[in-house]
Amino acid sequence: MSTLFTAWGYEVSYLEFSAVIASFVAVVLGALGKRIAWPWWVLSSSLYGIFFYQVELLASALLQIVFILAAIWGWFGWSAAGARPRFMKNSERIIWLLVLITAWLISAPVLADIGAAASRPDSFLLVSSTIAQIVMVLQRHETWVLWIVIDAFGTYHYANQQYWFTSVLYAALTVIAVFGWFSWRKLQGHEQISA
């Protein structure tokens, strides 16, 4: 990979830098509930898919395909005005949590068997991010609670893998996820007023 710049001894490639910028834009637009976030997800996920494949984080690479499919679904699933958030019922929350735990317990050993790097934490990011993205497309507030946990964990995971620039992105995404929670609450308030 060609190096764009070096920061604190870490070489940031053109590919990683472009993926970080596109991801940042996608998440900010998503936190604002803007439909235009979805094409940015396609771009960022395409770039990150290549990056993660090149560094053998296979679950993270696979996750980018999920993000692209979710972005297409989100583009057609959200109105032109953007997100219309609502909360889940408790039964929905329990079902999604059970799906997350079960899928993670199944996927981690499978990834280890095919030789993926950091299979246990990477599979957690794969499964939990897939669920969070589906919940986002479905326009449920709980997506932001999931993203806060996922992004905080991703900050640690990518720092542990020494992908410092991506780790910094995930730290910023954690803050944006908190903003997204409050932003979507305001969107829901406006939705109820106009209904």
Per-residue pLDDT tens over the stretch 105-161:
888 888 777 766 667 888 888 889 999 999 999 999 999 999 999 999 999 988 988
* Radius of gyration for the chain, computed over Cα atoms and rounded to the nearest angstrom: 17
Interior angle at CA 87, CA 89 and CA 152, nearest 5:
105
Distance CA 161, CA 60 (A): 12
Distance CA 37, CA 183 (A): 15
What pLDDT sits at residue 195? 42
109 token code pair: 């050993």
Distance CA 93, CA 135 (A): 10
Which whole-number Å values give the CA distances from 52 to 91, 114, 178, 193, in the listed order? 35, 15, 26, 44
What pLDDT sits at residue 193? 43
Alpha helix (H) residue ranges in the chain: 14-31, 37-54, 58-77, 90-113, 119-137, 142-160, 164-194
What pLDDT sits at residue 5? 86
What pLDDT sits at residue 34? 95
Residues with pLDDT less than 70, the chain: 1, 115-118, 189-195
What pLDDT sits at residue 46? 97
What pLDDT sits at residue 162? 86
- For 191, residues 6+ apart whose C-beta sits below 8 A from its C-beta are 84, 85
133 token code pair: 């993205």
